[in-house]
Amino acid sequence: MNTVPRQETSPHAPEEPLRQRMRQFYETSERYKGLLAEHDEAYHKPFVELVNRYAPPHSRVLELGCGNGIASRLLNRSGHHVIGTDISALFLGEAEKWQQTVTHDGEHNLEYRVCDVLELPFQDEMFDVVCSNELIEHVPDAGAALSEMIRVTRKGGRIIICGPNLCSPLMPLIDLLRLIRGKPGRPFWGETKRQAFSNSVRNFHLYLKKRLSSKPQFLYREPELGGQVFGGDGDSAYYANPIDLEKYFRHHGLRIVRRCVGFSAKGKLMSICFPRVSLYISMVVKR
C-alpha cells in the first residue's frame, strides 16, 4: 500500500482530530457527493436484495452510512420501516430533496437522520435489522462501530455488513493482471505493477496473521482526505476484512449466519470456496 498503517490494533480509540477531519470531509465534499450520485438503483440492488432475504416482512431496518439514501428508499419500498443514516448532512440532503418531490406508497415509513455510527442516537435493541454497504472501511474505529451496531439490534435480529475486502490478496492480484495486460489498475491500491504485487504479498501475510490470531486485529491507514477525491476507497481509514468482523462478532457471542454471500456468479463461487479472501465482504450475523 502506498500509505503507512497508523496503528496495528485498536486497543484505544483513535485520536480525536482524525475523527473530526473525516466528519468534516464527508460534510463538505461536493466531489464525493458527485461520486455517490453515480450509484444508481441498479448499483444498490444486490445489497438491497441481500437485506430483504434476511429481513422478516415489515422489519424495523437501520441503514448506516446510507450516503444519498437510495438503498434505504428501496428497502422502504420493499415494505420495511427504514431509518437511513449518514454522518453527512450534505449527502443526506439529496435523499431529503427526493422525498419532498416524489410521492411513493409506503414512503411514510422512511426517515433520514444525520448521525455518526460511532455514537448512534438510538436506544438498545431498537431494530430487527442493522445494515451497511461500503461504510465499515471508512470508520476510524471499527470496534466501536461494530459495538454500536450490536447494541441497537434486537436479540435474534440481524446485522448485515457489505463492502470491499481491503485485505484480500486477490484484489491487488487482479490489479496486477490488468496492468500486465496494459489496462489501468486502481487508484491508491494497485496503480503500478510493483505496488499491486507488494500489496498482494502484504495481504497474503495479513490473511495468515489474522487467521492465526484469536482476536480481531483492526488495522488502520491514514485516509486521503485532501485535494481531489478519486474514488477507489482512498478515503478509507480501516483495512476492512471479514476475518476481523467474524472474530469480533463471535467474541461478543453472536452467530455468523453467512460468512460471505457473494453477489455475481463469480462472487458466489468465491464465497463458497474462499469466503475470507473474496473481493467483497457480504456477511450476515444473528444477534
Residues that bind ligand SAM (CB under 6 A): 26, 36, 39, 64-67, 86-88, 91, 116-118, 133-135, 138-139
Helix ranges (DSSP H) in 153-274: 170-180, 193-212, 242-251, 265-273
Residue nearest to ligand SAM (CB): 67
The least distance separating ligand SAM from the CB of residue 64, rounded to whole angstroms, comes to 6
Map residue 118 onto helix, strand or coil. coil
Burial class, 114, CB count within 10 angstroms (exposed 0-12 / middle 13-18 / buried 19+): middle
Cβ nearer to ligand SAM, comparing 8 with 41: 41
Q: How far is the CB of 172 from ligand SAM (least distance, A)?
A: 20
Provide the minimum distance between the beta carbon of 27 and ligand SAM in the complex, in angstroms, as a whole number: 8
* Nearer of residues 26 and 112 to ligand SAM, judged by Cβ: 26
CA distance 91 to 275: 32
Nearer to ligand SAM, 166 or 179 (CB): 166
Least distance to ligand SAM from the beta carbon of 45, Å?
Answer: 11
Q: Using the minimum distance from each CB to ligand SAM, give the nearer residue, 134 or 246.
A: 134
Rg (CA), the chain: 18
Whichever of 39 and 247 has its CB closer to ligand SAM, that residue is 39
Please give the helix or strand (H or E) that residue 32 lies within, else none: helix 30-37
Reference 72, options 35, 54, 98, 34; nearest CA is 98
